[in-house]
């Protein structure tokens, strides 16, 4: 049971570079999301998707793009990396979301990103 898989685990970028953080889940979950964790800030929602072809912004979306072409995959793209994007990124999924269904999130193990 792989669950939620994130790659890479570590990444160092230079300011201005672009990259994609990969996230895949094998649980047939409809809902997927990306969070970033910063010291003293907790986990903050970047973008989320309630199903293939549907994405929306979270709390801190600036500088990031997402797409959801399949149920399994939800990549996060950094368009032009900035030092402020140095963080730990977590992908999470759940079977469904909303409509009175209180589904718990399953998290990946995270990507530690440093932007120099």
Partner 1 sequence: DQQVKQNSPSLSVQEGRISILNCDYTNSMFDYFLWYKKYPAEGPTFLISISSIKDKNEDGRFTVFLNKSAKHLSLHIVPSQPGDSAVYFCAARSGANNLFFGTGTRLTVIP
| Residues near partner 1 (CB under 8 A) | 4, 33, 35, 40-45, 48, 58-59, 90, 92, 97-100, 102, 104-110
Strand order in the sheet with 4-7: 4-7, 19-25, 76-78, 64-66
User: Which CB, 19 or 105, lies closer to partner 1?
Assistant: 105
Rounded least distance, CB 82 to partner 1, Å: 23
Which among 22, 94, 20 has a CA at the least distance from the CA of 51? 94
Whichever of 43 and 82 has its CB closer to partner 1, that residue is 43
Decide whether 17 or 51 has the Cβ nearer to partner 1.
Answer: 51
Q: Return the closest-CA partner of residue 69 out of 20, 17, 13, 35.
A: 20
């Amino acid at each position: 049971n792989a669950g939620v898989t994130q790659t890479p685990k570590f990444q160092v970028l230079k300011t201005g570079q672009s990259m994609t953080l990969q996230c895949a889940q094998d649980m047939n979950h409809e809902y997927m999301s990306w969070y970033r964790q910063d010291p003293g800030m907790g986990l903050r929602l970047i973008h989320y998707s309630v199903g293939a072809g549907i994405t929306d912004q979270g709390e801190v979306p600036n500088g990031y793009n997402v797409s959801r072409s399949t149920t399994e995959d939800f990549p996060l793209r950094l368009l032009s990396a900035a030092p402020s994007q140095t963080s730990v990124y977590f992908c999470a999924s759940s079977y469904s979301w909303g409509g009175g269904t209180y589904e718990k999130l399953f998290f990946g193990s995270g990507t530690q990103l440093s932007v120099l």
